[in-house]
Amino acid sequence: MCHGGRALYSMSSTRGSLIRHIRFICLLLILSLFQSWFQLLLLLCLVLFVLCYSLSSSYVSRLKGFALHEQNKRFLNQIHQVHLTTQPSTVPSTVPSTVPSTGIQYHQAHPHNYHFIMDNTEVCKTKNPFLVLMVPVAPNDVAARDAIRQTWANNSLVQGKVVLTLFMLGLSNRDNAEQLQEKLKQENLQHSDLIQSDFMDSYLNLTIKTMVIMDWLATHCTTAAYAMKVDSDMFLNIDNLVTLLQKPDIPKQNYLTGMLMWNRPVIRSKNSKWYVPEEMYPDPIYPTYTLGMGYVFSNDLPAEFVAISKLIKPFNIEDAYIGICMKKLGLAPTSPPDPSQFRAYNTGYNRCEYSKTITYILGSAQQLVQYWTDLKKPGPPC
Ligand SMILES: *[C@@H]1O[C@H](CO)[C@@H](O)[C@H](O)[C@H]1NC(C)=O
Ligand SMILES: *[C@@H]1O[C@H](CO)[C@@H](O)[C@H](O)[C@H]1NC(C)=O
C-alpha cells in the first residue's frame, strides 16, 4: 500500500474497496475496446476519478484508525490508574527500563561520591555485633535519637546477642548548620553512635542516605550477621526481632524481609510526596519491595546493593529503590515467618499486641518512651 497503514482495519477496508474499483475498471476496459477514441478519453477520466476517490477514502479511514488508536491508549492509561495490580509486562514502556543495557554508571546516588565526616570506624570491631540497627534521622532531631537510646537501643545484649544501634545523618541545610555540627560532635563523643556523611540531608535525598548506610555496613561492619534499616519514628520490639533472626530456617545470605509491597504503582501525581517522574523510573509498577519503615537483611547484601546501584538510576523512593536493586541482583524479598509482626499503622497502644509485633509506626518520640516503659513493666503483657 502507498500509505504505511497505521491501523490494521483501515488497511483491510481500503483493500476491499480497491478490489471492487479494479473489477469496475476491467469491465469498462472491455467495453471500451468496442468504442471510439472519445469514449476512451472518458474512461481515462473515470479511472482518474476512481483513483482519487480510493485515495481520499483510505485517508479518511486512516484518520479514523488513528483516532481509535489514541482512544485505546487513553483507555489503557485509565486502566492503570484504576487497576493497581496490572502487570508491567502488558504496558509498552517507551523509554528503556531502569537497567541500562550499555552499563551506564549512575554516580549521583552512589555512596562513593560522599565522604564520612563521622564514621565510628572501630565500633564494629570492638563490639562485634550480631545485628546492627541503622536509623536514618534528621541532623537536628536529637529528641528522636534520645528516645531510641532510652528504649530499643538501651540494651546492647538481647537474648545473648550483641545488638548495635547507629544513627545515619547527612549535612544540615539550615541556617544554624555550623552550630548544629558542633553539637553533633559533642553528641557523638558522648554516645559514639552517629554516622555522618557529607551529602545534603533532605527528603528527596533519602535514597542517598540509604545507600550510604549500605556503604558503611559494607566497609565498616562486615562481621555482623544481620542489619536493619529502621526509621526514627518506629516502635521496635527488638526481642522479637532477635528471636526471628535466630530461627533455624532464616537464611544467612541474600535475605531481605519486612512488610512486603506487591505490585505497587508508581505515583505520577505531582502533588504527592511519593511523586516519581517518568524520566526517573519509567515502569508503572515497582518490583516487590519491603516498606521503608523497617526492613531487615543479611549483612552480605549491603556490598551487593552498593555495587549494583551503579547500574540503576536513582530516584527518591528509597525502599522501592532497594527493591529494584534486589530484582537486578536476581533476588526477591522474603515474607517474614509471621507477616503480622511488621505493622505500618498504629491503631493505638495495646500492651498485649505490642508484645507480639516487631514494628509499629508511632506519632512521636514521647510515645515511644511511654509505650516502651509500659511494655517493660513487670507482669504478663497478655
Ligand atoms: C537501660 O538499661 C539498663 C539495664 O541494662 C537499665 O538499668 C536502665 O534503666 C535502662 N535505661 C532506661 C532509660 O530505660
Ligand atoms: C542531595 O544531595 C546532594 C549532595 O549533597 C546535593 O547537591 C543536592 O542538592 C541534594 N538534593 C536535594 C533535593 O536536597
Mean pLDDT value across residues 68-89: 32
Residues 186, 191: Cα–Cα separation, whole Å = 9
Q: Is the CB of 205 under 6 A from ligand 2?
A: yes
Supply the pLDDT for residue 90: 30
Between 105 and 290, name the one with better pLDDT: 290
Distance (angstroms) between ligand 1 centre and the Cα of 372 equals 11
Burial of 380 (0-12, 13-18, 19+ CB in 10 A): exposed
pLDDT grade for 333, boundaries at 50, 70 and 90? very high
Instruction: Tell me if 203 CB under 6 Å of ligand 2.
Output: no
Q: Three-state SS for 296?
A: strand
Closest atom, ligand 2, to C-alpha of 204: 13
Residue of higher predicted confidence among 52 and 347: 347
pLDDT band at 105 (very low <50, low <70, confident <90, very high): low
Closest to 266 (Cα-Cα) out of 223, 313, 228, 315: 315
For the residues 150-170, what does the mean pLDDT come to?
Answer: 96
Q: How far is the CA of 199 from the centre of ligand 2 (A)?
A: 6
- Check if 204 has its Cβ closer than 6 Å to any atom of ligand 2: yes
Please state the atom number of ligand 2 nearest to the C-alpha of residue 198: 5
Which of 154, 157, 369 has most ligand 1 atoms within 8 Å of CB, for mutation? 154
Q: How confident is the model at residue 73 (pLDDT cuts 50, 70, 90)?
A: very low
pLDDT reading at 211 higher than 50: yes
pLDDT band of residue 347 (cuts 50, 70, 90) is: confident
Question: What mean pLDDT do residues 203-208 have?
Answer: 92
60 DSSP assignment = H
Residue 373 Cβ inside 6 Å of ligand 1? The answer reads no
d(CA 224, CA 73): 50
Instruction: Report helix angle 206-220 to 301-308, nearest 10.
Output: 130
Judge if the beta carbon of residue 107 lies within 6 A of ligand 2.
no
pLDDT exceeds cutoff 50 at 312: yes
- pLDDT > 70 fraction of the chain, expressed in percent and rounded: 71
Check whether 104 has a pLDDT greater than 80: no
Average pLDDT for residues 306-329, to the nearest whole number? 94
Look at 76 and 348; give whichever has higher pLDDT.
348
Residue 335 has pLDDT above 50, yes or no: yes
What is the helix (H) or strand (E) element at residue 16, kind and residue range?
helix 8-32
Least confident of 36-40, 129-133, 213-217, 234-238: 36-40
Half-sphere exposure of 319 (CA within 13 A, CB side): 25
pLDDT digits (tens, 9 = 90+) for 218-269: 999 999 999 999 999 999 999 999 999 999 999 999 999 999 999 999 999 9
Residue 260 pairs in a beta bridge with 290
pLDDT, position 349: 93
Pick the ligand that lies closest to the CA of residue 199.
2
What was the pLDDT predicted at 110? Answer: 72
Strands (E) in 216-281, as ranges, are 226-230, 234-236, 256-257, 260-261
Q: Does the beta carbon of 199 lie inside 6 Å of ligand 2?
A: yes
- By alpha-carbon position, which residue is closest to atom 14 of ligand 2? 202
Average per-residue pLDDT for the chain: 81
**Residue extents of the structural domains in the chain:** 53-81, 106-375
pLDDT of residue 45: 55
In ligand 1, the atom with minimum distance to the C-alpha of 151 is: 14
Ligand at minimal distance from the CA of 200 is: 2
Q: How confident is the model at residue 79, as a pLDDT? A: 28
DSSP 114-153: S-EEE--TTHHHHH--SEEEEEE--TT-HHHHHHHHHTTT
Q: Please name which ligand lies nearest the alpha carbon of 372.
A: 1
Work out the angle at residue 301's Cα, subtended by the Cα atoms of residues 235 and 292, and round it to the nearest 5 degrees. Answer: 30
Mutate to test the pocket of ligand 2, among 169, 198, 199 (most ligand atoms within 8 A of CB): 199
pLDDT band at 357 (very low <50, low <70, confident <90, very high): very high
What whole-number percentage of the chain has pLDDT above 90?
64
Q: How far apart are CA 53 and CA 47, in angstroms?
A: 10
* Cα 1 to chain centroid, rounded: 46
Nearest CA to ligand 1 atom 5: 155
* Residue 215: Cβ-neighbour burial (10 angstroms; 0-12, 13-18, 19+): buried
Ligand nearest to the CA of 108: 2
pTM: 0.74
Instruction: Give 3-state DSSP helix, strand, coil % of the chain, rounded to 5.
Output: 45, 15, 40
Residues in the chain, total? 382
8 A C-beta contact, residue 275 and residue 267? yes
Residue 167, pLDDT above cutoff 60 = yes
| 85 band by pLDDT with thresholds 50, 70 and 90 | very low
Cell numbers of 221, please? 561492619
Q: What is the rounded distance in angstroms from the CA atom of residue 156 to the CA atom of residue 127?
A: 9
13 lines ligand 1 (CB under 6 A): no
For residue 113, pLDDT beyond 70: yes
Q: CATH class for domain 106-375?
A: alpha beta
pLDDT band at 101 (very low <50, low <70, confident <90, very high): very low
User: What is each CA distance from 112 to 58, 108, 313, in whole angstroms?
Assistant: 60, 9, 15
- For 2-59, the pLDDT digits (tens) are 333 333 333 344 445 555 665 665 455 545 554 566 665 666 656 666 565 555 544 4
What's the 160 CA to ligand 1 centre distance in angstroms?
Answer: 16
Considering only CA atoms, which residue is closest to atom 14 of ligand 1? 150
Contact 288, 262 (CB under 8 A): yes
**Would you state the cell numbers that stand for residue 306, as one nine-digit string?**
552498593
Helix (H) or strand (E) holding 51: helix 37-82
Angle between helices 301-308 and 318-328 (to 10 degrees): 90
pLDDT of residue 87: 30
Q: Which ligand is nearest to the CA of 157?
A: 1
More confident residue, 12 or 289: 289
